[in-house]
Amino acid sequence: MAKINAYTTTAPSGGIKYQQVDIKESPGNVSLKPLMTGICGTDRGIVRGSLSFAYDPEGYDFLVIGHESLCVVTDSSSPRFKKGDHVVPIVRRPGDCPNCRIGRPDNCSDGKKHEAGITGLHGFMRESFNEFDYNLVKVNDTDLGDVAVLTEPMKNVVKAFEVFDRVRSRFIFENVYSTFDGKNALIIGSGNEAFLYSFLAKDYGFNTHMINRHPIGMVPTDLCESFGVDFIDSSKEPDFPEDFKLDLIVDTSGDPEAIFRYLRKMSHNGVLILFGTNGKAPATPVSGEDIDFMVERNITIAGSVDAAEIHYLKALDYLSKWNRLHGGLMKKMITNVFQPGEVGLFTTKPEGEIKSVIKWN
Ligand code: NAP
C-alpha cells in the first residue's frame, strides 16, 4: 500500500475530494508523474453523479478520478521508454471478449473492460503511479508541449470519424469530385470535444458549424476563425434557413431535445454520431413522423465511445499538424490552469472554458 495525494470520487454517486489515500502500488514497468491532467465533461458527470456506468475499483470505496493525462517518465525498466520521456496513458483496459483480444477494447462486446478514472480502475489524478509500457503512447513531437494533454480527448474524435468513414461507405456520401466540399457538418456543443470535432470536420473539407445556446468567449472565437469554423449562438440567430440541409451531425451535448431538433435538418444519407452523454437530460418526444423521416432518408445513427491505441497515435499527428499550422493558437485550447487541491473546477465550469487542466508540480 502507498499513501498518496489524489482526487477521489465515489462512483456512481459522485462528489469530489483532494485527499491522502491508501492505495495498492499500481503494477507496471514504467514509473510516471503527471505533468498535466485535463478535466472533461465525463469527470464532471461522474462528480455530479449523473453517469450511472461509473464504478469504484474492487476493494475500494472510492475512485481516483482522471483519464486525460500527460505524464513524464521518472523510472523505466522498459526498452521502449526512458526517464524524461513524455507519455500519454491509455484509458481503456481490455477484458476477454473478441474485440478486446484484438486490441479494440473501445469496441468491447461484453462490458467487462475497465477505464482508468471511470469504470473500476483508479485514474491519473494522483501524484505518481506505475504503468506497463503497452498502456503508454510516447509523445515524440517535443514542440507539442502542453498541447499533448489534448491527445486523450482527440483520440475519441479520431475514432468517431473512423465510425463515420465506415457507415458512410454504404453509399456515395461525397460530392461528384469525391470530396466533402459543399457538405455541411454540425457539431452540437462548444466544449473541448466539440472544438476538436470541428477541427477534424474542417480537415475533411466540410462546411463546419458549431452550435450552442449562448455566445463563446474571445479565445474560442479566435480558434473558430483560424480554423474556419462557423459558430452559431442559437439564442440569438435562427438555427438554419428552411432549405438548409446537414450531412453530418456530431452531438457532444447528450441532450435529446437538441439532437432531434437538428436531426430534422438532415439530408438524405445523413450520418448522426452520438458522442455526448448526459443521463440527467430530460426526455424529448419522438413522433412516428420522425421515424418515417429517418427511414426514408437512410439516416444512420451511430454511437461512438472511447478509442484504441491507433487513435491515440493519429491524435498526436493531428495535434502536431494543427500546432504547426495555427501557431500558438492550439496552446490557447488550455484556457484554465489549476493547482492540485482545487476542487471547484469539478462542479463549476469556468466561464469561457475550452479545457481546464491541473498542473502537477
Ligand atoms: P462539455 O465541455 O461539457 O461539452 C458539452 C457541451 O454541450 C457544452 O459546450 C454544453 O454547453 C453543450 N450543450 C449542452 N446542452 C446543449 C444544447 N441543448 N445545445 C447546444 N449545446 C449544448 O464536455 P466535453 O469534455 O467537451 O465532452 C462532451 C461530451 O462527451 C460530454 O457529455 C462527455 O461526457 C462526453 N464524452 C464522451 C466520450 C465518449 O467516448 N463517447 C468521451 C469523452 C467525453 P454548456 O456547457 O454551455 O452547457
158 domain-assigned? no
From the CB of 213, is ligand 1 less than 6 Å away? yes
CA of 255 to the centre of ligand 1 (A): 9
24 domain-assigned? yes
Neighbours of 295 (CB within 10 A): 9
159 domain-assigned? no
Structural domain ending residue among the three candidates 297, 321, 345: 297
Distance CA 50, CA 279 (A): 6
313 domain-assigned? no
In tens, the pLDDT along 58-95 reads: 999 999 999 999 999 999 999 999 999 999 999 999 99
pLDDT of res. 107: 97
Instruction: Judge if 93 and 211 occupy the same domain.
Output: no
The pLDDT of 37-49, averaged and rounded, is 95
* Strand, helix or coil for residue 74: strand
CA angle 268, 271, 275 (to 5 degrees): 155
134 domain-assigned? yes
Distance CA 125, CA 304 (A): 25
CA of 253 to the centre of ligand 1 (A): 4
CB-based contacts of 94-102 (< 8 A; 24+ apart in sequence): none
Pocket test residue of 152, 186, 193 for ligand 1, highest count of atoms within 8 A of CB: 193
Structural domain ending residue among the three candidates 275, 297, 319: 297
Asked whether 276 and 254 are in contact (CB, 8 A), the reply is: yes
Range of the domain at 256: 172-297
Instruction: Judge if 195 and 128 occupy the same domain.
Output: no
191 domain-assigned? yes
In tens, the pLDDT along 240-268 reads: 888 999 999 999 999 999 999 999 999 99
323 domain-assigned? no
| pTM (two decimals) | 0.96
Instruction: Judge if 27 and 61 occupy the same domain.
Output: yes
Name which residue sits closest to atom 21 of ligand 1, judged by CA.
Answer: 189
From the CB of 190, is ligand 1 less than 6 Å away? yes
Pocket test residue of 39, 40, 157, 192 for ligand 1, highest count of atoms within 8 A of CB: 40
From the CB of 298, is ligand 1 less than 6 Å away? no
Indicate which CATH number applies to the domain containing 268. 3.40.50.720
354 domain-assigned? yes
pLDDT of res. 328: 86
Indicate which CATH number applies to the domain containing 141. 3.90.180.10
Distance CA 247, CA 182 (A): 10
pLDDT of res. 82: 98
